[in-house]
Amino acid sequence: MITLYLHEQKRGNRRPDGMKKASGRLQYLTDLNQEGQLYGAVKRAGMPHAVLKQVDIDEARALPGVHAVLTAADVPGWNGFGIADPNQPVFCTDHIRYEGDAVAAVAADSPETAQAALNLIRIDAEPLAPLDSPAEALKPGAVHLHPEGNVLHTTAFHHEDLDKAWEHCRWIVEETYETPRQMHGYMETEGGLFLPEEDGSLTVHAPTQHGYKDQMQLARILGWHEAQIRIVSSPIGGSFGGKDELNVQPYGALLALHTGRPVKIHQSRQESVRAGLKRHPMQIRMKTGLDQHGRIAAHEVDILSDTGAYATLGGPVLQFATEHAVGAYRMGAVRVNGRAVYTNNGVAGEFRGFGGNQVIFALEGQLDRLADKSGIPPWELRKRNLRRMYDPGPLEQEVAPNNGPRDVWEAVQRSLLWQKPKRSRSAEEPWLVRGIGVSLAMHGSGLGYGIPDPAGGELRLTKDGRIEAAFGHEEFGQGLLASLQEMMLDHFHCTKDDIRLTIGDTSLVPPSGSSTASRSTNMMWQALQRMVPGWKKQLFTAVQQASGVPASRMETGPGGIFRMEGGTQQELLLSYQEAAALADITEAVSFHFPVTPDPIIGGHYLYGSTAVITEVEIDQRTGAVQVLEAEHVVAAGGVVYPIGYLGQIEGGSVMALGFTLMEDTVMEGSVCRTPNLDTYLMPTIQDVPGYQPVQAVETLPPGDDYGPRGVGEIGSVALAPAIAEAVYQASGVRVERLPIDREVLVDETAWMTAAEGETIG
């Protein structure tokens, strides 16, 4: 059960895509088929590290039913992709860098024949020792995975004199934290349908979080103009960052153009696990000191990020982690150094939370350990160090005034869960111990300084009388359409039937930037703020000419434009369809996500804040941890769509629970040992808390007109440290590694001692 507490009761319309999704009737892009289609399949290296000598495709090509077998020689443009740095080859030429590296692709009459052809492709390669950890990859003499070496990106942030600051510290805690290689685990694995059109263009039906970026990347691979490629990219069966980067699109596009036939590709779960992106495993060393007043006087951080074989967004993720290693706290002196290191461990990339989840686990862990050491209660310690409304941001950059961290802190004080005893042991079953933990975090929205973060949209009145909002954003289950619908209804006071929402097709929508980084809701809100007045002015001027009623006395309403008097709606002047016949009413806008004026790479300007209280129960017979309740407080501006808001926080929370308790792509020698969902474990309904209340703090600082911040990520960033603290309260065991190892929590001595006193004697 989940409940959302709001300051006012809000209307919530049914989400436009809800019924079709719940009933299973929605056709996803990977459900599409076209008559005469061929089936595409990709030959993956199947070995983590090797010198590639030759790929022999002759036998595969000769197999009846096979229409094309392509390798690097068949890529007409740039043989590579990657949002930030296109250094992942479409097809390997000389160096195999991970198990999922592609060496060839096949198009055949049936999936079985395509698979048979893959089995006939022979890879002649000389195995190299896998670089299975950043430490291995950093060793002198390690094979270079890329021309620049094995370090993708470094970050360094310094503030004040850290070496001196230790002198003022009364309590110091130093710890190294490790986080898992979490998988997105979307229900729909990567795939799509690729159609060569009669005019020589190409239509791609494949999920992505940024259709225009795919268009650009595919054009670069094909050596085409972007306008020759149409990307249809929504609806999507889940992404969480995992489909932000290209996956099967290069192969589908090349095979379709080569054969002149429609090509369908859809990856199996095992191929998805081995080839797809994961969350960056990070090793984070933190040394943090408190002065005698309980203020953080010194904070030193080293982040070592396993970025896997290719760049994708490994650099920006590290940037984000660097900023959030300071987070919502004001500190005396700070030094943060980060390194993202290439290894042969798959490919790590964009994932909900974007590097925040890892460092927030570490940072909040430090606060809890310092609280223990100093005797200052953990929640009080946080208060003493939280930023104030007009303080600079974590990288000392100018940020929008922000009181979110203090707002969520206050809300926790009022929580009933937080007032429960911090630990207890069951009398009937002495092996069951309970504990309560709390954590706090701030999370940046948008991509940050120095990264292009464009936004835009279009409003049109269609000839059939609909107010159409067109955005280059994507719907991957996060409820974007529902939020957009709510905002449109607020602006136009019309009915759902009067509006049309158009997204996810480059032939129909303007560029709006990516649907990532908790930015889409905010960008649509801002775009509408900018477009609606001008659009209404155009509309009312046209209606004034037709009706004689002054434009200043008009407002949109159900079905059309109404005359207004004293703020109340009078008679209908014209229907939307009638108005559409008068003139072309279109308003477009493009702008940039609000960004800090200070030139600090990766620094954010807008943030959401959150606090999470959780109660866990540990079974000391097995070490199993059950999260009984997780209460989230979120300060991210106004709630646009209550059910969607709740869904994002609940979903993010469950994902974070998996990150904390069970999810990890286990690699041995850079070979994946958890290739399917029976070994890579995600939480089931029985693993998640029965009750997850969400409290929304909707107030923004005076004068803040940036609108609602997105909440796509914030539900996932702060649960792990709250669970870790609750586990400590319950058992006395401090956890530095995720997912939590049950072996460290088994404790027969504790429960048998407790039991003894009670029953024997």
Partner 1 sequence: MTMTKQQVWRPWTLQEVVSLTGQLDGRYCFTAGGTWLRTQWEAGTLEEPEHLIAVDRVPELQSGAAVQENYIEIGAFTTLTDVLEHPAVLAKLPVLVEACKQIAAPSIRHQATIGGNICTRTGDAVPALLVYDAVLLWYGSDGLEEESLEAWLMRETEEERLLTAVRIYDAPEEVDDVVFALKSGRRETFIPSQVTVAGRLRIDPQGNVLAAAIACGGGSAVPKRMPKTESLFCRSSTRKLFPALMHDEIKREYDPPSDVFASAEYKKRVAANLIVGEWYRKGRDHAVST
| Residue 616 binds partner 1, judged by CB under 8 A | no
Distance (Å, rounded) from C-alpha 533 to C-alpha 523?
17
In Å, what is the CA distance from 715 to each residue of 449, 521, 619, 652? 23, 15, 26, 4
553: exposed, middle or buried (C-beta count within 10 Å: 0-12, 13-18, 19+)? middle
Q: Quick check: 9 binds partner 1 (CB under 8 A)?
A: no
Is 142 near partner 1 (CB under 8 A)? no
3-state secondary structure of 301: strand
Question: Using the rule CB under 8 A, which residue among 624, 628, 733, 750 binds partner 1?
Answer: 624
Q: What distances in angstroms separate CA 515 from CA 61, 244, 523, one per listed residue?
A: 40, 9, 10
Query: Site map for partner 1, 706-745, x if CB under 8 A?
Result: ------------------------------------xx--
Six-digit token string for 422: 């911090």
C-alpha to C-alpha distances, 604 to 335, 340, 607, nearest whole angstrom: 18, 20, 7
Contact range with partner 1 by CB under 8 A, out of 72-80, 426-434, 462-470, 506-514? 426-434
Q: Which of residues 495, 507, 545, 676 is near partner 1 by CB under 8 A?
A: 676
Contact 311, 318 (CB under 8 A): no
Among residues 61 and 500, whose Cβ is nearest to partner 1?
Answer: 61
What CA–CA distance (Å, rounded) separates 623 from 745? 4
Binding of partner 1 by 622 (CB under 8 A): yes
Site for partner 1 in 32-71 (CB under 8 A): 63
The answer to the question of residue 683 lying near partner 1 (CB under 8 A) is yes
**Total residues contacting partner 1 (rule CB under 8 A)?**
42
Q: What is the DSSP letter of 73?
A: G
Residue 316 CB, nearest distance to partner 1 (Å)?
Answer: 32
Stretch that binds partner 1, among 162-170, 278-286, 466-474, 619-627 (CB under 8 A): 619-627
Residue span binding partner 1 (CB under 8 A) among the ranges 187-195, 620-628, 648-656, 690-698: 620-628
Decide: is 759 part of the binding site for partner 1 (CB under 8 A).
yes
Using rule CB under 8 A, residue 123 touches partner 1: no
**Angstrom distances, CA of residue 703 to CA of 391, 400, 402, 408, 699:** 16, 10, 11, 20, 11
CA angle 170, 173, 175 (to 5 degrees): 170
Residue 187 near partner 1 by CB under 8 A: no
3-state secondary structure of 124: strand
Residue 668 binds partner 1, judged by CB under 8 A: yes
d(CA 470, CA 169): 55
* Residue 359 near residue 178, CB atoms below 8 Å: no
Residue 364 near residue 183, CB atoms below 8 Å: no
Show the tokens assigned to 589.
Answer: 């806008």
| Rounded Cα–Cα distance for residues 215 and 213 (Å) | 5
Please tell me whether residue 757 binds partner 1 under the rule CB under 8 A. Answer: no
CB of 683 to partner 1, least distance (A): 7
**Bond from prior residue into 739 cis (ω within 30 degrees of 0):** yes
Verify binding: residue 684, partner 1, rule CB under 8 A: yes
User: Least separation, in Å, of the C-beta of 760 and partner 1?
Assistant: 6
Out of 11, 140, 686, 705, point to the residue binding partner 1 (CB under 8 A). 686
Amino acid at 729: Q
Kindly indicate which of the ranges 113-121, 143-151, 226-234, 372-380 contains the residues binding partner 1, using the contact rule CB under 8 A.
Answer: 113-121
C-beta closer to partner 1: residue 269 or 420: 269
Q: Taking CB under 8 A as the rule, which mask of x and - marks residues 66-105 in contact with partner 1?
A: ----------------------------------------
* DSSP state letters, 708-727: PPP-TTGGGTSHHHHHHHHH
Task: State the residues that interact with partner 1 by CB under 8 A.
Answer: 63, 112-113, 115-116, 119-120, 270, 428-431, 620-624, 626, 661-662, 666, 668, 673, 675-676, 678, 681, 683-684, 686-687, 742-743, 746, 748, 751-752, 755-756, 758-760
